[in-house]
Amino acid sequence: MPILTPEDEKELARFEQNLVKDWRDLISAKEKVTDAHMKLADLIAKENTRREIFLRTARDVYKQMQVLKREKMSNIDEQDVNVIHDVIEADEQLLDKNKINLNSLKDLSLQREYLLKEYREVIEALKEVGTIRKAVVQKALKIEQAKNKLIEGEKLEILDQDFKDIQKEFDRAKGLFNKKVEHLQAAKAEVNGLWKKLKDSTTEFD
């Protein structure tokens, strides 16, 4: 089994810093997707508004057709009335479905924004863990070097206390990171539920 050295810990700290950078880039990509969802929600809302206007006019046409159908010279028959009636009925159903879909999409987009905030907090917590981990290793190396140089006890005690202090800082940072990860997992579960709700609300659009 290979012997672990302080360099291995320092290497882990370096990897953690690289992970922070790559994670930030990933979150930036996720932000663009969330922005696209919000834009899509705006477009669906505008479509719904246009559909409501269309339906009001279609109902006017339908009512007028019903009036004219009674007159033999009007060139309006039952089939004409039924066609416009079917158009109105279909679009009313689509409007109701699109409103549900729109609400689901808005809920998802807002929750994704919250999730991205949780991600950023986890990333910052990981950055702190990596930074302090490196400091812990450096303090430990100083103590080992001091022992090898047979430095007097009082100075060694100061170094030991410095190490204990930075170790406490590391434990605090790691505890905070773990807590942030818990919050992130809860937020992810909420988003996953909203994805399912959006999927269930997506049936028809046209």
pLDDT digits (tens, 9 = 90+) for 54-64: 999 999 999 99
Q: 204 φ, ψ to 5°?
A: -140, 150
Closest CA to 77 of 87, 69, 86, 67: 69
Which top CATH class is 6-201?
A: mainly alpha
pLDDT in tens, 111-163: 999 999 999 999 999 999 999 998 888 888 877 777 766 667 777 777 788 88
Write down the pTM of the prediction.
Answer: 0.79
pLDDT at 183 over 50: yes
20 burial type by CB count under 10 A (0-12 exposed, 13-18 middle, 19+ buried): buried
The 10 Å Cβ neighbour count of residue 137 is 20
Judge whether 178 and 168 are in contact, CB under 8 Å. Answer: no
User: How much is the pLDDT for 142?
Assistant: 79
Range 182-203 average pLDDT: 91
Whole-number average pLDDT of the chain:
89
Give pLDDT, residue 40. Answer: 92
Give the pLDDT of residue 3.
47
**In this structure, what DSSP letter does residue 202 have?**
-
Q: How confident is the model at residue 205 (pLDDT cuts 50, 70, 90)?
A: low
